[in-house]
Structure 1
Amino acid sequence: MEFGLVILLCFWAAVANAKVEEEELKLEADQPFQRVAVDHEATVRCCYRWKESPGVTWIMNVHTINGTTLPSLVNQSENVTPMPMGETDGVKCHSLVFKSSQLNETGLYQCKLSHGSIHAFTHGTFLQVYKPLQKTLNLSESVKNSIITAEGVLLLLCVLVPGTMLLCKSKTLNELNRKKGREEENIYEGLNLDDCNSPYHQIQRSNQQGPYQDVANCAEDIQLEKP
């Protein structure tokens, strides 16, 4: 009975001590996102406040296709180097330097802090390595400015030339209409109405009356018209 009580007290003492140590650990804010072009240098860091000196291990979390996260240890190499940054005002920081970032190094990087039975992870930084788009035509700024100026001139010509042609066409049509009106007025100039009683008009009247008269319907005192 007494032996079991001693074991229970020791267990609770260890748990209380661990909680005290864990409460003393305070994680600092990390840079949540960092984007860098391929083959460029990148630096990821983690910071914390703790009186202890824990072991620091860098963890890389890669998101799989089905939405899960696959953690793995970061392998040190000439391209990837973890470096302690020392302590400033009680804040301890560690950095992970990528001298030449590669596309397969995209992921969430966290520091795993281990001291005794305590294991804690920092908030982490998501590093995105992208491949920049390559220019199809490598043009200088002066050439670009010249192209923009030429485009402006062509646009101005496309607006002015059709408008000028429409104005000229409208002016020509107006001149033709005025000329046609003057010609119609000249047709009737100098026309004498007395000349309408010409032999032609007399023949037209005789045709309307008919070349012959009906003998049966004529009176005796009316002289027949000769054919």
Structure 2
Amino acid sequence: MEFRLVIFLCFWEAVAKAKVEEEELKLEADEPYLRVAVDHNATVRCCYCWNKSPNITWIVNDPPINGTILPRLVNQSDNVIHRKIDETDGVKCHSLDFKSIQLNYTGLYQCKLSHGSLHTFTHGTFLLVYKPLQKTLNLSESVKNSIITAEGVLLLLCVLIPGTMLLCKSKTLNELNRKKGQEEENIYEGLNLDECNSAYHQIQRSNQQGPYQDVASCAEDIQLEKP
């Protein structure tokens, strides 16, 4: 019974001590997202306020594979350097410097603070490495401006030329209609309407009488031609 009590007290003391130490630790806000082009430099930081001097280990969480996140230690090399920044107003910061960053460096970077039995992770920064698009044509700004100006001139010509052609066509049609009206007026010019009416009536009467005359109905003084 006494042995169990001793174990319980030791455990409770350790938990209370860890809780006190955790309350004294204050994590500063990290940069949540960092986007960097490949072969460029980048720096990831983690900051905290703590009167202790914990052991700092950088952890990277690779993008999930089949829904599983794979954390791993960040190994220092010529391209990856871990350094400590001087303390300012009680805030301690550590940085992870990348030189000539590569695509496989993409992931969530966190600092692991270890002091005794206490292990705490900072909020972390997600580093996204991308590959810039290659330009098909490497044109200078002056060439681009010249191309834009030429496009504007061509667009203006495409609007003006069809409009001018339609105006010319409409003008030609109006002139033809005017000439046609003048010719019709010239046809009827100088005609006497009374003479036209009398000739019209004579033609109508001749059509009603027929092309032949009845010999019996002719006057007596009309002499028939002998064969």
TM exceeds 0.5? yes
Aligned to 2:77: 77
Answering whether residue 69 of structure 2 is matched by residue 45 of structure 1, we say no
Aligned to 1:213: 214
| Displacement after TM superposition at 1:151 (Å) | 0.6
CA distance 1:203–1:118, shift in 2 (3 Å)? closer
| Displacement after TM superposition at 1:125 (Å) | 0.2
Answering whether residue 26 of structure 2 is matched by residue 26 of structure 1, we say yes
Distance 2:94 2:202 in 1: 127
Aligned to 2:90: 90
| Displacement after TM superposition at 1:66 (Å) | 1.8
Where do 5+ consecutive residues of structure 2 fail to align?
Answer: none
Distance 1:203 1:171 in 2: 44
Distance 1:3 1:177 in 2: 124
The root-mean-square deviation of aligned C-alpha atoms, in Å, is 2.3
8 Å CA contact retained: 2:36, 2:42:
yes
Secondary structure at the residue paired with 1:64?
Answer: strand
Secondary structure at the residue paired with 1:93?
Answer: strand
Secondary structure at the residue paired with 2:65?
Answer: coil
Aligned to 1:59: 59
Where do 5+ consecutive residues of structure 1 fail to align?
Answer: none
Secondary structure at the residue paired with 1:160?
Answer: helix
Distance 2:191 2:10 in 1: 140
Greater Cα shift, 3-12 or 91-100:
3-12
Distance 1:65 1:190 in 2: 103
8 Å CA contact retained: 2:63, 2:106:
no
Secondary structure at the residue paired with 2:213?
Answer: coil
Secondary structure at the residue paired with 2:31?
Answer: coil
Secondary structure at the residue paired with 1:126?
Answer: strand
Which amino acid in 1 is paired with 2:122?
Answer: T
Aligned to 1:120: 120
Distance 1:2 1:182 in 2: 134
Which amino acid in 2 is paired with 1:111?
Answer: C
Q: Work out the number of aligned pairs and report it.
A: 221
| Displacement after TM superposition at 1:202 (Å) | 5.4
Q: Alpha-carbon deviations, 1:30-84, whole Å to 9, x = none?
A: 0000000000000001001111101010001012232221101111110011111
Which amino acid in 1 is paired with 2:213?
Answer: Y
Which amino acid in 1 is paired with 2:140?
Answer: S
Distance 2:80 2:50 in 1: 26
CA distance 1:23–1:190, shift in 2 (3 Å)? same
Aligned to 1:168: 168
| Displacement after TM superposition at 1:29 (Å) | 0.3
Distance 1:28 1:205 in 2: 122
CA distance 1:176–1:14, shift in 2 (3 Å)? same
Distance 2:134 2:78 in 1: 28
TM-score by length of 2: 0.89
CA distance 1:111–1:214, shift in 2 (3 Å)? farther
Distance 2:68 2:42 in 1: 26
